[in-house]
Structure formats: structure tokens, C-alpha cells
Amino acid sequence: MKVGILINPKHGHTMRAYSELVEIIRRSHTRYRSATTTKQWPGVEQASKLLDWGADLIVILGGDGTLRVSAPVLASANVPVLIIPTGTANVLSRHLGIRSTRQALQLVQKYLDSPFAPRCEVPVNVADCFTEAGPRREHFLSLAGIGGDARAVSGRTRLPTGLGWGILGYAYGAGRALFAPLISAHLTTPQSSGPPRQSSGPPRQSSG
């Protein structure tokens, strides 16, 4: 197995988590290659390069922004992705039931011990935006249906008396939803994964 690691180094604890991840990978005698995001290259090129190298598992150390940027490339390649949440809010990982870097690292260890596991598929959506600078196409990961917006607007959240609906009601529901994952992340049932497809791009990398 080859493991590609995509790192957003914006937060200090990212590199601590990266050091622990590398130790886990080395103990399993697995080949790995790392690529670091930058402002100029936020993740697409790095993810593509890791796939070109032949990674059949991608581990992302970052938050929702890194996931959103790299998602289209990774989804089209059909490779499994493990998230180590080191971003600011980590909304997606929370709704997948991954509450901490410690839990995420344990999932990586389990996956390397037995690389067959159930998947949670998250849709990658496309939005065409029209701005003063001209049209722009954006990709984003939808949380509706697995927790975020769905919980915030579904009416299942009890509001304090006098709060009412509107933007305050939505914000209250969204806050409750953020800390109430609907999916529990675990690796138990054997299931084979599909082969990777490859893309291209020019990032900074390191190998092990």
C-alpha cells in the first residue's frame, strides 16, 4: 500500500499530528509521500501529484477548506480518504463522528492493519457563481443529509423560549448540530475498495 499525506500547516498542532501519523505508517512498513499546501497551491495540485505517484490511500491533515479544495480530484480518483481534523471548525469530520486527532490517528492505524472498511460517501457539489470579476465555478462538500444544514433547519432542535426562528434560530440549530454527529466513525465490516485513477499537478513533496 502507498499512503499519500496532504498537509495544511496553518495550525501548530498539525505538525505534531503529522509526526505521530508518520510513526504509525513507519511501524506498518508502508510507503508514504507527503505534500504541503500553500496559499498559492491550496491542495488540488498536491492531491493530483500524490495520485500520480500511485497513492491508494490519502490522509488529509487540515480542515474543511483543505477538504473542499481537494475533494473534486480525490472523488474522481475513487481513492479512500481519511481525515485528521486539524483545522479551525472541522465541521465535516465532526459530522462523520471524528471528534479528535487522537481518534483519527487510531482510525489510520486500524485501516493500515486491515485496509478493508465501510465507506461514508460525501457528495461533492458544484455551484456556478457570478461576481463583478466574472463567472466562477466552486466545489463544496454538502453536509445536508448527514448532519449540518439538515439538523439546523429540520425543526428537530428545541429552541429556548423567546428565541424564535429566523437567523437566530438557524444559528442555534447549527450550533447544536455541530456537536451532534449522526455517523459514528469506526472500522469493522470488511469491504473492498475501488482502484485509484490518476491526475497531475506540481506540489512540494517529501517521501518515506
SS (H, E, C) the chain: CEEEEEECCCCHHHHHHHHHHHHHHHHCCCEEEEEECCCCCCCHHHHHHHHHHCCCEEEEEECHHHHHHHHHHHHHHCCCEEEEECCCCCHHHHHCCCCCHHHHHHHHHHHHHCCCCCCCCCCEEEEEEEECCEEEEEEEECCCCCCHHHHHHCCCCCCCCCCCCHHHHHHHHHHHHHCCCCCCCCCCCCCCCCCCCCCCCCCEEEEC
Q: In the predicted model, is pLDDT for residue 196 greater than 80?
A: no
Homologous superfamily (CATH) for 2-123+184-207: Probable inorganic polyphosphate/atp-NAD kinase; domain 1 (3.40.50.10330)
% of the chain at pLDDT higher than 70: 67
Condensed to tens digits (0 to 9), the pLDDT of residues 125-159 reads: 888 888 788 888 888 886 544 444 545 544 444 55
| 127 vs 7, higher pLDDT | 7
Confidence class of residue 182 from pLDDT cuts 50, 70 and 90? Answer: low
Whether the per-residue pLDDT at 202 is higher than 90: the answer is no
Give the pLDDT band of residue 122 (cuts 50, 70, 90). Answer: confident
The answer to whether 141 and 66 have CB atoms below 8 angstroms apart is no
- Would the pTM count as exceeding 0.85? no
pLDDT at residue 187, rounded to an integer: 53
What is the pLDDT confidence band of residue 99, given thresholds at 50, 70 and 90?
Answer: confident
Report the alpha-carbon angle 145-190-187, nearest 5.
55
Per mean pLDDT, which range of 141-145, 165-169, 200-204 is the poorest? 200-204
Q: Give start-end residues of each CATH 3.40.50.10330 domain in the chain.
A: 2-123+184-207
